[in-house]
Amino acid sequence: MLPNLLKELQEAGNKSQAEILQRFFKTGKGEYGEGDIFLGIKVPIQRAIAKKNQGLNMPKIQELLSSKIHEHRLVGLLILVEKFKKSDERERGNIFNFYLKNTKNINNWDLVDLSAPNIVGKFLIDKKKDILYELAISKNLWEKRIAMISTYSFIKRQEFNDSLKIAEILLNDSHDLIHKAVGWMLREIGKKDEKVLEDFLAKYYTKMPRTMLRYSIEKFPEEKRKSYLKGKI
């Protein structure tokens, strides 16, 4: 099954699209995605291929996740998400553990964003969240992003506590991709309960990185956004 999947991905590739993606995902020397290789396949096509191959076993998924090619890793993660949806609690635990062992391979923001809430977040909904706090203080950029983005599953259930605590941990992080992740999750909290977001901002908006603040207040009326950005709330 794996050779057929790899062949299908190779045939779906587009060289000009690959060049665009390699710039978009910052694959140049010294950039966050340095060395990542793209075939140039749009996400809906990858989703369709993943759905057709959701019977792939874990050793074969591991081969995908260990690949230097971005689309191989993303399709592997999308297959994992499909498996997780249809698994019992025991198998979900196995997928969760497998995912955490592969964080070194979940090494770009789209890979995190399309998988972490649907595996890590959903598995932890009714469990202790200690692992998220461990990931949040990791030296690895992507593990920190996994910690924050996984909480999207809690936010959807109107459960904000862990999202806010992890946002506090990451408040002074130096990386723009963490600023964006935290700001995004704060914005999602605001959509559910604007007061919770405003209470958080009241404590931290003058200290937040500009990008984080901009993302978090994106849905506010224009005048209120301007007031926050000018520090006049």
Q: Using H for helix, E for strand and C for coil, what is the string for the chain?
A: CHHHHHHHHHHHCCHHHHHHHHHHCCCCCCCCCCCCECCCCCHHHHHHHHHHCCCCCHHHHHHHHCCCEHHHHHHHHHHHHHHHHCCCHHHHHHHHHHHHHCHHHCCCHHHHHCCHHHHHHHHHCCCCCHHHHHHHCCCCHHHHHHHHHHCHHHHCCCCCHHHHHHHHHCCCCCCHHHHHHHHHHHHHHHHHCHHHHHHHHHHHCCCCCHHHHHHHCCCCCHHHHHHHHHCCC
Q: For residue 231, what pLDDT band results from cuts at 50, 70 and 90? A: confident
Query: Is residue 43 within 8 Å of residue 78, measured between CB atoms?
Result: no
Q: What is the pLDDT of residue 233?
A: 77
Matching CATH number, 1-107, of 3.40.640.10, 3.50.30.30, 1.25.10.90, 2.70.98.60:
1.25.10.90
In 13-130, which ranges are E strands? none
With 90 as the cut, is the pLDDT of residue 212 above it? yes
Length of the chain: 233
Task: Supply 64's token pair.
Answer: 């995908």
Q: What is the pLDDT, as a whole number, of residue 230?
A: 87
Q: Residue 18: is it exposed, middle or buried by C-beta count within 10 angstroms (0-12/13-18/19+)?
A: middle
Give the span between the Cα atoms of 62 and 70, in whole angstroms.
14
pLDDT, residue 117, reads 98
**Run of H or E including 219:** none
113: exposed, middle or buried (C-beta count within 10 Å: 0-12, 13-18, 19+)?
A: middle
For domain 128-233, give its CATH number from 1.10.3720.10, 1.25.10.90, 1.10.490.10, 3.30.1280.10. 1.25.10.90
Residues of the chain with CATH 1.25.10.90: 1-107, 128-233
Q: Mean pLDDT for the chain? A: 96
pTM of the model: 0.95
Determine the Cα–Cα distance for residues 12 and 22; give it in Å rounded to an integer.
Answer: 16
Instruction: Over range 116-144, report the average pLDDT.
Output: 98
- Tens digit of pLDDT for each residue in 79-95? 999 999 999 999 999 99
Please choose, from the candidates 56, 212, 86, 191, the residue with its C-alpha nearest in 3D space to the C-alpha of residue 201. 212
| 144-162 pLDDT, tens digit each | 999 999 999 999 999 999 9
- Token digits for 214? 């901009």
Question: What is the rounded distance in angstroms from the CA atom of residue 78 to the CA atom of residue 225?
Answer: 36
Which residue shows structure tokens 């459960």? 159
